[in-house]
A and B are shown apart, each in its own frame.
Chain A
């Protein structure tokens, strides 16, 4: 007698590349292609849900990158993908792909190729006994290592999708490109486009699940869109997805329409209410001070809404490790959510928790107050007596310590009085409106430079 292992019926019925949501057995999830984004969404994007991705930074294309991951994952799983864009084929050809030989080995999370550290040496370090049982500090979720699991493939940004794969997908109707073809009447052309999407959805309902990708809603090809048009489109798209629950959609909003300056008061909340999931990835492109504050990340992630198609509580609240809200966290029960950020390495896009540096950082040696503090007495002179005065004839060392605005120079003991008064005048002239964060802390000894104020 042989005992045959019975496959649970759930698994047999699931289309490839899907998974059952941990919080609700009637919800099927698909992967967005980025494991950390899947984690934030509660395991993946549920079918019949729409995800709105806002990327307000005009100087970068992270929103489009996420859409490419979405398309690549769909093609890799053999699912149907529909790209709603005039240049959809170009987008598909620019997608990333799994690297050659990636199924054999995939790098563990902590061993980032950019770091150059090897994980092996860490294991041999003898950790203090009370910390031995703790897990290694991880800022993100590990990518899926098993090659048998086709839920989420490990894509490599340095390898492009082979043309043959794209061609094959087009030929077998698994990749459909729908042009926007907007004309002067935006509302009418949007209604027409929604009709075409509905036709595609109804045809594909027999053949399995479908991913709709709208990479840049509101961009130039859509014509002169107004906020009301965008809201109408998002709302109608969600209604269509409810009608055809085998499909889901990922909508990227064009950068200029992601801000309240364009959409009006409460714009982002409106987008959140009219979609099932809304996430912002704000790149640091326009803001150099943030680049300095978070040097190892490329932007912040804000979660506005999470999908909960069959439950009151979004699955992400209980199951997301990145957000850290689950009450099974024990000591962390009742604590707030983790701050999230993203970074784009050479090989992948990662969303992870963000932590502020130890004050001062580990690379900078500081001898005075942190430059992030706003000195209460800017305008007064801060005299710092330095031990390393360089005696060069005039026995005066020029020590330049930069605070927010205060600049101090060691006073020459001989003529301290007139120096003090002239420097106070110079300081007053030099103070400008204080910045909140100074990007770089400098402790510099300019022993060979002449004094700033040469009187």
Chain B
């Protein structure tokens, strides 16, 4: 049975862009990044910037993986929309200003974590909902660029999740985000529709910001298939059963 993501992806990469579609959501992957980070990396802390996910679900799923997040003070859960609403009480209700407020908030959090000499993982879930809620593509691109710069400054790994509505026309925001990323993980549904044994497949593509990709890449032809379970996913190579079927 395969494992994904490879551990140096979780620790060393710059910006990892995860894209998914409605029939094959990638929330399991985000949870997996979190679990691997907390379990395997000593001195690590995580910031979960959430638009859609709620902390209860993250905690419950982690408990199925035998991780107790409530007691783990190393994970900080930030409700992004709440932060954005809080910022409107300040000077202007400008979208740009609100997003800058979030960056300032984050930068203070990250700098305190960095001062404690911890390796930081920042997860943004997800950026497409922000676009649908009214933020412009340009504002969101600038926000993600600022996030990336912040994470690069402190050596943190940034994971951004983005929803694709149409695989053949991914959209302008995706194209912009792709320019920023070091790795692009694409989670796709099976072309033949939903199945009981295989929930979807994922591919790992190199992004333009990573000079020499150290990890084994997964093209669409050699995609890793996965099957969801209550607490996570099992991975196996395409065409093999490897303990799943």
Contacts and interface: CB of A to CB of B under 8 A. Distances in A.
Interface string B230-245: 1111000000000001
Given A313-B229, A325-B195, 7 more contacts: A231-B132, A231-B133, A232-B134, A266-B166, A312-B233, A336-B193, A336-B195
20 contacts: A26-B60, A231-B133, A232-B133, A242-B56, A245-B56, A266-B165, A269-B163, A270-B165, A310-B56, A310-B57, A310-B61, A312-B28, A312-B229, A312-B230, A313-B199, A313-B228, A325-B196, A332-B196, A334-B198, A336-B193
Nearest to A326: B196
Contact of B196 (A265, A305, A334): A334
B21 interface: yes
A334 B22 CA distance: 20
Given A242-B54, A266-B165, A317-B228, A311 B60 contact: yes
A188 interface: no
A56 interface: no
Contact of A312 (B129, B169, B228): B228
A266 B194 CA distance: 19
A391 B57 CA distance: 80
B192 interface: yes
Given A269-B165, A325-B196, A235 B129 contact: yes
B61 A337 contact: no
Which of A312, A317, A329 has the most chain B CB atoms closer than 10 A to its own CB? A312
B233 A273 contact: no
Interface string A300-339: 0000110001111100010000001111010011111100
A147 interface: no
A93 interface: no
A218 to B, nearest CB: 16
B172 to A, nearest CB: 12
A335 B195 contact: yes
Given A235-B129, A242-B54, A265-B165, A312 B31 contact: yes
Interface residues of A, number: 36
Nearest to A305: B22
Closest 4 CB pairs of A and B: A266-B165, A334-B197, A325-B196, A310-B60
A63 interface: no
Given A242-B54, A305-B22, A311 B195 contact: no
Given A232-B133, A265-B165, A270-B132, A311 B193 contact: no
Contacts of A333: 196-197, 245
A248 to B, nearest CB: 15
Contacts of A272: 22
B129 A274 contact: yes
A183 B185 CA distance: 45
B60 A235 contact: no
A23 interface: yes
Contacts of B196: 317, 324-327, 329, 332-335, 337
B214 interface: no
Which of B31, B193, B229, B233 has the most chain A CB atoms closer than 10 A to its own CB? B229
Interface in B1-55: 21-22, 27-28, 31, 52, 54
Nearest to B82: A239
A228 interface: yes
B124 interface: no
Contacts of B132: 228, 231, 235, 270, 273-274
Nearest to B233: A312
B177 interface: no
Categorize the interface residue count of chain B.
35 or more
B64 interface: yes
A140 B31 CA distance: 35
Contacts of B110: none
Contacts of B27: 312
B81 interface: yes
B204 interface: no
Contacts of B165: 265-266, 269-270
Interface in A254-284: 265-266, 269-270, 272-274
A24 interface: yes
Given A269-B165, A312-B231, A336 B194 contact: yes
Given A232-B134, A304-B22, A325-B195, A265 B166 contact: yes
B230 A327 contact: no
Contacts of A335: 195-196
A273 B22 contact: yes
Interface string A146-162: 00000000000000000
A337 B193 contact: yes
A311 B166 contact: no
A325 B199 CA distance: 11
A270 B60 CA distance: 26
Contacts of A334: 195-198, 245
Contacts of A26: 60
Contacts of B156: none
Interface in A285-313: 304-305, 309-313
B52 A273 contact: yes
A313 B195 contact: no
A119 B128 CA distance: 53
Contacts of A231: 132-133
B21 A269 contact: yes
Nearest to B231: A312
Interface string B160-200: 00010110010000000000000000000000111111110
Contacts of B60: 24, 26, 310-311
B194 A325 contact: yes
